[in-house]
Structure 1
Amino acid sequence: MLKIWGRSNSTNVKKALWAAAELGLDYEHVMAGGAHGVVDTPEYRALNPNGLVPVIEDDGFVLWESNAIVRYLAAKYGADMLWIDDAAKRADAEKWMDWASTTVIGPFTDIIWHTVRLPEDKRDPAIQARGVAAFAKALEIPEKVLSGQPWLSGTEFGIGDIPLGVFVYAWMELPLDRPDLPHIAAWYERLKERPAYAKSVMTPLT
């Protein structure tokens, strides 16, 4: 059986949990990281020397890095579902995975830490505001794309929607001064209709 290590409030872990749920996979979820510990044990470091989450083990195959995990699960189990056979269409979807993990991760980190993760007396409103502005600016790019197609992956939901979909949950649900991005908002409503998204992503942020 597939085994997934990682705390359920981690955005990166949510990617793996969401992909597994979309694919209807049975899996064992082991809480790790943060208050749960585990990640500094020799046993865990043997799986992931970085000491980060998530990690999966699938029939003896161990893999870390959240986007790689999503790609692997989709490739192995997602024929006619998450996986896209056409190389060009798949690359067009996959670019959003890498974009989300480079362009928006910095602003998102500023937002999440200075809104909910840090104790109130350690939150810096200026850092939060900087994160919100940068995140909103970045979202103008997928906002334009989603004006012409329903999903970042194309005409159908796919792997390209997963990383940003996790970030957007926090963006839409936290008490932030957000600009009006109607196509992002409509995309988020479509995501919320997916049972796997509700189960794996729409969970507490702290």
Structure 2
Amino acid sequence: MLTVWGRPNSINVQIVMWTAAELGLEVDRKDVGGPFGGLDTPEYLAMNPNGRIPTLQDGDLTIWESNACARYLAAKYGAGSLWPEDPADRAKADMWMDWKKTSLAGPMTTVFWGLVRTPEAERDMAAIGAAAQTSQALYAMLDKWLAGKDFVLGDSLTIGDIPAGAMAYRFMELVKDRPSMPNLEAWYGRLTSRQAYRDHVMLPIT
């Protein structure tokens, strides 16, 4: 059985848990981080010297960083399904996975912290609004890419959909005043129809 350390409301943990669920893998998830603490203990730091979540254990193997964990699971357990066999397709999947972390995560984190973790009286609405606009522009890129496709690589869900798809739930719930993005909205609808997505991503945003 796999073990994942991390709280369920962490988007980075959700990426790993959603991936595992799509692959039908049994996971023992342990609450650490946030209100649970435990990230600075010698035992945890021995597994993950970065002191963050998630951490994945599969037998004697320990991995941290959400995209690395998701890639490992897909490569080992989902070859030909979540893990594309063609190197060009894998590169495209990697492109959108890394895009979420390097481009999308920054402005969406500002939106999330501003609207969810900050008391209303203390919110910097100008900064939140600017970050929401940036997030919209970024998701418009994905909307354009998805034209004529059901998923990022075509007809079926792959690892390329997972990180941006996990963030899409927060985008749709928190950024309400946004232009129509029909391809993105159709893609998001396909994600929300998946039980694994509902179980591990569509959770209270806290």
Q: Please confirm whether the aligned pair reaches a TM-score higher than 0.5, indicating the same fold.
A: yes
Q: Does 1:10 align with 2:10?
A: yes
Q: Does 1:116 align with 2:110?
A: no
Instruction: Tell me what 1:148 maps to.
Output: 148
Q: Does 1:200 align with 2:200?
A: yes
**Distance (Å, rounded) in 1 between the aligned partners of 2:131 and 2:95:** 22
Q: Counterpart of 1:90 in structure 2: which amino acid?
A: R
Deviations 1:47-82 (A, max 9, x none): 111111000010010000100101000011112321
Instruction: Tell me what 2:33 maps to.
Output: 33
Q: Does 1:105 align with 2:98?
A: no
TM-score for both structures, normalised by structure 2: 0.97
**Distance (Å, rounded) in 1 between the aligned partners of 2:200 and 2:67:** 16
- C-alpha spacing 1:78/1:96, structure 2 compared with 1 (3 Å): same
Q: Deviation of residue 148 (structure 1)?
A: 2.1
**Distance (Å, rounded) in 1 between the aligned partners of 2:154 and 2:117:** 34
Helix, strand or coil for the counterpart of 1:56? strand
Q: Deviation of residue 149 (structure 1)?
A: 1.2
Helix, strand or coil for the counterpart of 2:102? coil
Q: Deviation of residue 175 (structure 1)?
A: 5.6
Q: Identity across aligned pairs (percent)?
A: 48
Moved more, 8-17 or 116-125: 116-125
Q: Does 1:22 align with 2:22?
A: yes
**Distance (Å, rounded) in 2 between the aligned partners of 1:175 and 1:91:** 29
Q: Counterpart of 1:138 in structure 2: which amino acid?
A: L
TM-score for both structures, normalised by structure 1: 0.97
**Distance (Å, rounded) in 1 between the aligned partners of 2:74 and 2:175:** 33
Query: Is contact 2:104-2:135 (8 Å) kept?
Result: yes
Residue-pair matches, total: 206
Helix, strand or coil for the counterpart of 1:101? helix
Q: Counterpart of 1:199 in structure 2: which amino acid?
A: D
Query: Is contact 2:82-2:158 (8 Å) kept?
Result: yes
**Distance (Å, rounded) in 1 between the aligned partners of 2:194 and 2:90:** 21
Q: CA RMSD in A?
A: 1.1
Matches within 5 A, 1:1-206: 1-174=1-174, 176-206=176-206
Q: Counterpart of 2:29 in structure 1: which amino acid?
A: H
**Distance (Å, rounded) in 2 between the aligned partners of 1:154 and 1:115:** 34
Following TM superposition, the consecutive aligned residue runs of length 4 or more in structure 1 with deviations greater than 3 angstroms are: none
Query: Is contact 1:113-1:123 (8 Å) kept?
Result: no
**Distance (Å, rounded) in 2 between the aligned partners of 1:174 and 1:111:** 8
Structure 1 unaligned spans of 5+: none
Q: Deviation of residue 174 (structure 1)?
A: 2.3
Structure 2 unaligned spans of 5+: none
Deviations 1:165-184 (A, max 9, x none): 01110111226322211111
Q: Counterpart of 1:94 in structure 2: which amino acid?
A: D
**Distance (Å, rounded) in 1 between the aligned partners of 2:139 and 2:51:** 30
